[in-house]
Chains A and B, each alone.
Chain A
Amino acid sequence: MGVGVMAEKPQLINVQIDGVWHQFPRGTRVIEACAKVGAYVPRYCYHPKLSSPGNCRMCLIEMGLPRMGPDRKFELGADGKPVVNWMPRPQICCAQDVAEGMGVRTSSPLVEECRRGVMEFLLINHPLDCPICDQAGECRLQEFSVEYGRADSRFLENKVKKPKRVRLGSRVTLDDERCILCSRCIRFCQEIAKDDVLGFTERGGHTTLTAHPDKPLENNYSLNTVDICPVGALTSSDFRFEMRVWFLKETKSICTSCATGCNTIIGSREDVVYRQTPRENVAVNSAWMCDYGRLNFEYLTSPERLLEPEVFSVEKLQPADWKTVISHTALQLQHFSGWDIAIVASGRMTNEELWLTTRLAQYLNVSLIDIVPRKGEGDDILLSQDRNPNTNGAKLILGLQSKPGANLETIASGVAEGRIKSLVVLGEDPTKFGIPIEQLKRLPSFVVINILRSSCTAYATAVLPAATYAEKRGSMINGRGRLQRLNCAVRPPGQARQDWEILRDLLQELTGHNGLGSVEDVFRQMAESIPQFAGLSLSRIGDLGVKVMVMPEDSTTPVPPGEPVDEEIIELPPLHARK
Chain B
Amino acid sequence: MTAAKIPAELKRQVNAAVAQYPAEHKRSAALPLLHLWQEHFGFITDEGMKWIAEKLELQPINILELVTFYPMLRQKGAGKTHIRVCRTLSCAMAGGYRLMENLCEIAGIVREHDGIHNPVLVSPDGNISIEFVECLASCGTAPVCMVNDDLHENVDPNFTADLLRPQPSTLTFQPPSPHPLERRLVFKNIGRKDWTIDIDCYLRDGGYKQLKKAVTMSRVDILNEVKASALRGRGGAGFPTGVKWSFIKTDEKKPVYLICNADESEPGTFKDRYIIHQDPHQLLEGILISCYALSAHTAYIYIRGEFPEGAKILERAIEEARENNFLGENILGSKFDVEVYIHRGAGAYICGEETGLIESLEGKRAYPRIKPPYFPAVLGLYMCPTIVNNVETLCHVKHIIAMGGAEYSKLGRPGNTGTRIVCVSGDVVRPGYFEIEVGKVTMGQLIYEMAGGMKFGRQLRAVIPGGSSARVLRVDERFKIKEKQPAGSTIEREISIDEIPMDFDSLAACGSMAGSGGVIVLDDSRDMVWALNNINEFYAHESCGQCTPCREGALWMKKITDRMLLGGGVMQDPATLKTVADNIAGRTICAFGEACAWPTQSFVEKFPEDFAARATKSAPPPLPPEYTPEELITEEKIPIVPLAHNPGWEKAGASGVV
Residues of A within 8 A of B (CB): 52-58, 60, 88-90, 92, 95-96, 113-114, 117-118, 120-126, 128-131, 136, 142, 145-146, 149-158, 160, 180-181, 196-207, 210-212, 214-215
The 3 closest A-B pairs by CB, nearest first: A130-B652, A117-B583, A205-B555
Q: Give 23 A-B contacts (CB < 8 Å), ordered by A residue.
A: A53-B546, A55-B546, A56-B547, A117-B549, A121-B556, A125-B552, A131-B651, A152-B623, A156-B629, A157-B559, A181-B546, A197-B61, A198-B61, A199-B64, A200-B65, A201-B68, A202-B68, A203-B545, A205-B551, A206-B545, A212-B59, A214-B46, A214-B50
Q: Contacting B69 at CB < 8 Å: which of A113, A123, A155, A203?
A: A203
Q: Which residue of B lies closest to A117 (CB)?
A: B583
Taking a contact as CB atoms under 8 Å apart, the answer to whether A204 and B542 are in contact is yes
Taking a contact as CB atoms under 8 Å apart, the answer to whether A153 and B658 are in contact is yes
The interface bits of chain B over 579-618 (1 if a CB of A lies within 8 angstroms of the residue's CB, else 0) are 0001100111100000000000000000000000000000
Taking a contact as CB atoms under 8 Å apart, the answer to whether A151 and B560 are in contact is no
The interface bits of chain B over 24-63 (1 if a CB of A lies within 8 angstroms of the residue's CB, else 0) are 0000000000000000000000100110000000111110
Cβ-based interface call for B116 (8 A): yes
How distant is the Cα of A176 from the Cα of B628 in the complex, in angstroms?
Answer: 22
Taking a contact as CB atoms under 8 Å apart, the answer to whether B65 and A130 are in contact is no
Q: Which residue of B lies closest to A128 (CB)?
A: B649
Segment of B92-100, B192-200, B296-304, B365-373 engaged in the interface with chain A: B365-373
- The answer to whether A128 and B545 touch (CB under 8 A), given A89-B586, A154-B572, is no
Q: Which A residues are in CB contact (< 8 Å) with B587?
A: 57, 60, 89-90, 114, 117-118
Taking a contact as CB atoms under 8 Å apart, the answer to whether B60 and A214 are in contact is yes
Most chain A beta-carbon contacts within 10 A, residue among B69, B576, B658: B658
Give A451 Cβ to nearest chain B Cβ, in Å. Answer: 40
How distant is the Cα of A51 from the Cα of B5 in the complex, in angstroms?
Answer: 41
Q: Which A residues are in CB contact (< 8 Å) with B629?
A: 156-158
Cβ-based interface call for B218 (8 A): no
Q: Which B residues are in CB contact (< 8 Å) with A95?
A: 370, 372-373
How distant is the Cα of A203 from the Cα of B648 in the complex, in angstroms?
Answer: 30
Taking a contact as CB atoms under 8 Å apart, the answer to whether B570 and A204 are in contact is no
Cβ-based interface call for B624 (8 A): yes
How distant is the Cα of A124 from the Cα of B365 in the complex, in angstroms?
Answer: 25
- The answer to whether A57 and B543 touch (CB under 8 A), given A124-B658, A202-B116, is no
Cβ-based interface call for B540 (8 A): yes
Q: Which B residues are in CB contact (< 8 Å) with A215?
A: 59-61
Cβ-based interface call for B397 (8 A): no
Taking a contact as CB atoms under 8 Å apart, the answer to whether A204 and B658 are in contact is no
Cβ-based interface call for B430 (8 A): no
How distant is the Cα of A201 from the Cα of B544 in the complex, in angstroms?
Answer: 11
Q: Which residue of A lies closest to B553 (CB)?
A: A121
Cβ-based interface call for B4 (8 A): no
The interface bits of chain B over 331-359 (1 if a CB of A lies within 8 angstroms of the residue's CB, else 0) are 00000000000000000100000000000
Taking a contact as CB atoms under 8 Å apart, the answer to whether B543 and A203 are in contact is yes
Q: Contacting A130 at CB < 8 Å: which of B50, B620, B653, B656?
A: B653
Taking a contact as CB atoms under 8 Å apart, the answer to whether A206 and B548 are in contact is no
How distant is the Cα of A203 from the Cα of B347 in the complex, in angstroms?
Answer: 12
How distant is the Cα of A156 from the Cα of B348 in the complex, in angstroms?
Answer: 29
Cβ-based interface call for B253 (8 A): no
Taking a contact as CB atoms under 8 Å apart, the answer to whether A150 and B624 are in contact is no
Give B623 Cβ to nearest chain A Cβ, in Å. Answer: 7
Give B601 Cβ to nearest chain A Cβ, in Å. Answer: 14
How distant is the Cα of A150 from the Cα of B58 in the complex, in angstroms?
Answer: 43
Q: Which A residues are in CB contact (< 8 Å) with B620?
A: 156
- The answer to whether A146 and B365 touch (CB under 8 A), given A89-B586, A124-B552, is no
Q: Which B residues are in CB contact (< 8 Å) with A117?
A: 549, 582-583, 587
Q: Contacting B552 at CB < 8 Å: which of A121, A136, A145?
A: A121
Residues of B within 8 A of A (CB): 46, 49-50, 58-62, 64-65, 68-69, 116-117, 348, 365, 367, 370, 372-373, 540-549, 551-556, 559-560, 563, 570, 572, 576, 582-583, 586-589, 620, 622-624, 627-629, 632, 648-649, 651-654, 656-658
Give A320 Cβ to nearest chain B Cβ, in Å. Answer: 52
Q: Which B residues are in CB contact (< 8 Å) with A200?
A: 65, 69, 365, 545
Q: Which A residues are in CB contact (< 8 Å) with B543?
A: 203-205
Taking a contact as CB atoms under 8 Å apart, the answer to whether A57 and B652 are in contact is no
Q: Which A residues are in CB contact (< 8 Å) with B59?
A: 196-197, 212, 215
How distant is the Cα of A485 from the Cα of B653 in the complex, in angstroms?
Answer: 37
Give A369 Cβ to nearest chain B Cβ, in Å. Answer: 50
Taking a contact as CB atoms under 8 Å apart, the answer to whether A157 and B556 are in contact is yes
Q: Which A residues are in CB contact (< 8 Å) with B553?
A: 121
Q: Which B residues are in CB contact (< 8 Å) with A89?
A: 586-587
Taking a contact as CB atoms under 8 Å apart, the answer to whether B570 and A156 are in contact is yes
Give A63 Cβ to nearest chain B Cβ, in Å. Answer: 11
Taking a contact as CB atoms under 8 Å apart, the answer to whether B653 and A128 are in contact is no
Taking a contact as CB atoms under 8 Å apart, the answer to whether A54 and B370 are in contact is yes
Give B542 Cβ to nearest chain A Cβ, in Å. Answer: 7
- The answer to whether A128 and B589 touch (CB under 8 A), given A150-B658, A154-B576, A156-B620, is no
Q: Which A residues are in CB contact (< 8 Å) with B554?
A: 204-205
How distant is the Cα of A158 from the Cα of B49 in the complex, in angstroms?
Answer: 33
How distant is the Cα of A252 from the Cα of B537 in the complex, in angstroms?
Answer: 52
How distant is the Cα of A152 from the Cα of B572 in the complex, in angstroms?
Answer: 13
Taking a contact as CB atoms under 8 Å apart, the answer to whether A211 and B552 are in contact is no
Q: Which B residues are in CB contact (< 8 Å) with A130?
A: 649, 652-654
Q: Which A residues are in CB contact (< 8 Å) with B348?
A: 203
Give A469 Cβ to nearest chain B Cβ, in Å. Answer: 35
- The answer to whether A128 and B648 touch (CB under 8 A), given A55-B546, A114-B587, A153-B622, is yes
Give B547 Cβ to nearest chain A Cβ, in Å. Answer: 5
Most chain A beta-carbon contacts within 10 A, residue among B46, B540, B555, B560: B555
Q: Contacting A129 at CB < 8 Å: which of B548, B560, B622, B648?
A: B648
Taking a contact as CB atoms under 8 Å apart, the answer to whether A121 and B583 are in contact is yes
Q: Which A residues are in CB contact (< 8 Å) with B582?
A: 117
Give A136 Cβ to nearest chain B Cβ, in Å. Answer: 6
- The answer to whether A122 and B548 touch (CB under 8 A), given A150-B657, A200-B365, is yes
Taking a contact as CB atoms under 8 Å apart, the answer to whether B61 and A206 are in contact is no
Q: Which residue of B lies closest to A90 (CB)?
A: B587
Q: Which A residues are in CB contact (< 8 Å) with B623?
A: 152-153
Taking a contact as CB atoms under 8 Å apart, the answer to whether B654 and A145 are in contact is yes
Q: Which residue of A lies closest to B545 (CB)?
A: A207
Q: Which residue of A lies closest to B648 (CB)?
A: A131
How distant is the Cα of A180 from the Cα of B554 in the complex, in angstroms?
Answer: 16
Most chain B beta-carbon contacts within 10 A, residue among A60, A120, A153, A202: A120
Q: Which residue of B lies closest to A158 (CB)?
A: B629
How distant is the Cα of A89 from the Cα of B594 in the complex, in angstroms?
Answer: 12
Q: Which A residues are in CB contact (< 8 Å) with B373?
A: 95-96
How distant is the Cα of A151 from the Cα of B545 in the complex, in angstroms?
Answer: 26
Q: Which B residues are in CB contact (< 8 Å) with A120?
A: 583, 658
- The answer to whether A201 and B65 touch (CB under 8 A), given A128-B649, A153-B658, A180-B548, is yes
Give B342 Cβ to nearest chain A Cβ, in Å. Answer: 24
Taking a contact as CB atoms under 8 Å apart, the answer to whether A52 and B555 are in contact is no
Give B474 Cβ to nearest chain A Cβ, in Å. Answer: 26
How distant is the Cα of A211 from the Cα of B60 in the complex, in angstroms?
Answer: 9
- The answer to whether A131 and B657 touch (CB under 8 A), given A158-B629, A201-B64, is no
Give A517 Cβ to nearest chain B Cβ, in Å. Answer: 45
Q: Which B residues are in CB contact (< 8 Å) with A197?
A: 59, 61
Q: Contacting A204 at CB < 8 Å: which of B540, B549, B648, B656?
A: B540
How distant is the Cα of A214 from the Cα of B51 in the complex, in angstroms?
Answer: 13
- The answer to whether A55 and B548 touch (CB under 8 A), given A120-B658, A145-B654, is yes
Q: Contacting A90 at CB < 8 Å: which of B370, B586, B653?
A: B586
Q: Contacting B560 at CB < 8 Å: which of A60, A153, A157, A198?
A: A157
Most chain B beta-carbon contacts within 10 A, residue among A60, A125, A198, A204: A204
Q: Which B residues are in CB contact (< 8 Å) with A205?
A: 540, 543, 545, 551-552, 554-555
How distant is the Cα of A368 from the Cα of B554 in the complex, in angstroms?
Answer: 75
Taking a contact as CB atoms under 8 Å apart, the answer to whether B116 and A199 are in contact is no
Q: Which B residues are in CB contact (< 8 Å) with A214?
A: 46, 50, 60
- The answer to whether A58 and B548 touch (CB under 8 A), given A155-B556, A156-B629, A198-B61, is yes
